[in-house]
Structure 1
């Protein structure tokens, strides 16, 4: 199909391949950059909505703390603060509603949308919770749980932020941001529990357990925060930890911890606790806002970078395509113009127009060499045309002379006169023809004379060959009969040896099969021994497990004793723990007894396994001895089989050689007969050749050629 295309189309086809490749890779790169730009734009939208959600969560945390203090004091404290905080919470929710990010299509298509819908639905229940708090209906825990449910949904929504985007550094910043939000949430819960305890003047066991749990969670989350946060973020967190508010909170935590012991009164003001914890949480909020600004700036930077790379990729792709198209056009033009010049010149040469200087490409390139070749060919063609015209004129002048001289020579040759020569004066190619004709007549004269002499010699030699061939034929017939009898005897011996070789091979196969059977049995025995050793090693592992259980039982018994001691110190309140400690101690002793029985049983099992391993080892040794004996037998039988096979092969070769000799002798006898017949035919042909050459006249005789006297005497002697 390509052979039918024009050169310009082929050049365009060659250029089309890199254009398609450039377009393909440019499309891939642009598509990748567009996807990246869309992802970065999505991150910007999602970060904006999460920033609004973080503000709402902070206000809800403060409202939850004021509500806890309000309920625990039965309205004596935080009434005005609670009303003001509710207004700030509603304002934060309204700001979130008014933002375009919450209702954008990007947010609706992201993983944030399902939990965001649950946040909206759960927040609608806050109004009913506020009304119940004003009537002092819920407990502190119930009221805190209502706010915590909304905060947990917000945190669940924000957790999806860590899976969005492509930048590893941005992902670390978002992870640190989420850890800080969780730590701040636990700080808010700590504030609520502490406000409840200090407002009541007593930290009972449930309230303190929750307080301690929130403190521990804060410490864990802030510790993990340090692994993901930047250096600036960690420095701000360290400043918060060294602030007066943080030191006050730490001191009041210690006071709350001491107050749970009997006889130590709780000393502390709920207002002071609230102010210190709120100041600490506000500082954490400032750190949260600082990190949020970093996340927004990073997202915007990624978006700007992606947009710039996309624009740059589009420009580069357009420039590459333009350069490629221009290069293809210039290359095609530089090739097609010289080719058209060469084609035009060749057409003029085909039409016979060889005058003037043609327009052809020049230079040291391949096209220049093509132009030079066409010029040289055009000059050679013009010279050849002039030479052809000159030859035509010479042919016309010498035609008559050729007819007279060469014609006379051919006429004498047809009469059998080999002494005639062309003597006319001929020039140029005709002179060469004259010389060649006279030389050919001389060679023919020599050939005919030699043929006459050779015919006599051939007739004499063929007579002698005929007599010798007849004697050889008789001797060959006698040798063929003797050789046929010898061949039959060797063939019979070969058949007997073949039968012996087959029997030896069968014996060798049986010995090999027996050896394989013994090897398989030995393998089974070895496998059994290895399996028994594996069982023994597994039993050792079980012994280690039993020893571990024994240690665990001992440690359990020690712990039970310690628990009994601590229960005794607790007095009446620890009586139930003392009973449990006794039961655990009894259970530990029983576990030790069972571990001892299991070890004794395992020891007996290991002894049985050792005896079984010894028995299998003896069987394996017996198999080794049998296998060694079978190997010796197999070697002897194999040696016998190979010897028989070698003898059979030697006799087979002798039989084959004898058969070949028999056939060769028969063929030699037939060839001798054919040689005798050929010799007789050769004598007849020699007589005919002498008669045919006798009509030629050669120089030196002046008469037709006759047989020599020597030949006549040889023929007489033969006959």
Structure 2
């Protein structure tokens, strides 16, 4: 980035930020790589952890077959538990094979893998092969010579394996030392990178701050001071930096335009002050009633149309006031004539209203009498109708009574039949009780209790028969009386029917009289309404005449007031017209 080339503040800030961000990003990547190498779980840490695990596997088992050698010595003693030793040796061999496979597939140093495969691993493989192929079968056959020979071979292989284990341990320790040195070197490089990144970042920040102060802050302070002076009214200073192509240059050029606009505004304000003074004085004279005044001194070119408009409006208003004065004089003269005519009309309407009011009272009294007659006729009709209704109700009640007594007679007959049935049942019960008593007497002592019950049943049946005969007699008597009542009620119904026919004729006559009275009342009501309407219209005419009189009087007063108001103005025609207007009023 070249600082001497024209560049906006935004571009400079963006490029500076990108530069600082790039330096910080590179430093962050370098630091991240270094930290990832030496962090817990990183490659260096994993290699160290693998070496530690590898060392723990070779010293002692499973890669170092020390425990297996002890089991071989124990198994060589034929008096021992061979099966237990075989199982333990099989377990140790399986652990050895699994450990060999795990380290062969791990990420440890290839030199360690090669040393394990060709040195300690190869000797251990032959060690386990001798045990599986020769020693265990000899022990199972209880062949002491073969077992002793095989055990000797196993010891030789164990010693060779031990030597290779020591070599492998030494190689692992050397690899651990190399890793320690590599980790220390990585940490040192990371720290140096961090220091360089911090120094570069601080240097870039300092350079940026210096350039910011020279190219941005100081010009901004000068611009702010200039704008404060312009706000206070000082337009003599010119801004600096108008040739710059950044935001400061844009602000300086904008201030130049603001300064020119402020100067133009100041000149315009001075011109406006002249216009406002002249217009204020002219409007003041107009508000005082002087309509003949005109503005003769020309304004600035952009405001001279306002002067012409004022002069034109004042001339039109002058003519308008003169015309209003003339119209007010004519209105005042006409209002005097209207007031005289309305006064005469009001007197005539009052006389007519009095006559109509007397006619209305007479018609109203006649209408009241006709209404009272119609009302009394209506009441008589209602009384007759109510009586007819009562007779009709009585007739229906008698008919209901006849039907009820007929039903009672029918029910009495049914009750008689039921009583006959009860009497028959009592007779049969008596016979059954008699037979039961005979059978109980034949039974001797064992039937005494049953005989007592049969006697009680006979007595109860006898009482039921007696009661049934009594009820039958009562029902027969009631039936005769009900039949007599039915006959009497029927006669009453015939009498009521005759009364209903007579009252129906009377009701018809009263209804015709009521309709005639209603028609007369309606006719009188129409006449009364018409008279009321005439009276109402007459009263309205009186009120309207009074309103017209009041309006004419008010019009005369308003004409006088208008003359007084117009007299306050001084027109080009002079003050003679308003004086003549007041005399006419």
Q: TM-score, normalised by structure 1?
A: 0.35
**Which entry has the higher C-alpha Rg, 1 or 2?**
2
Q: TM-score, normalised by structure 2?
A: 0.42
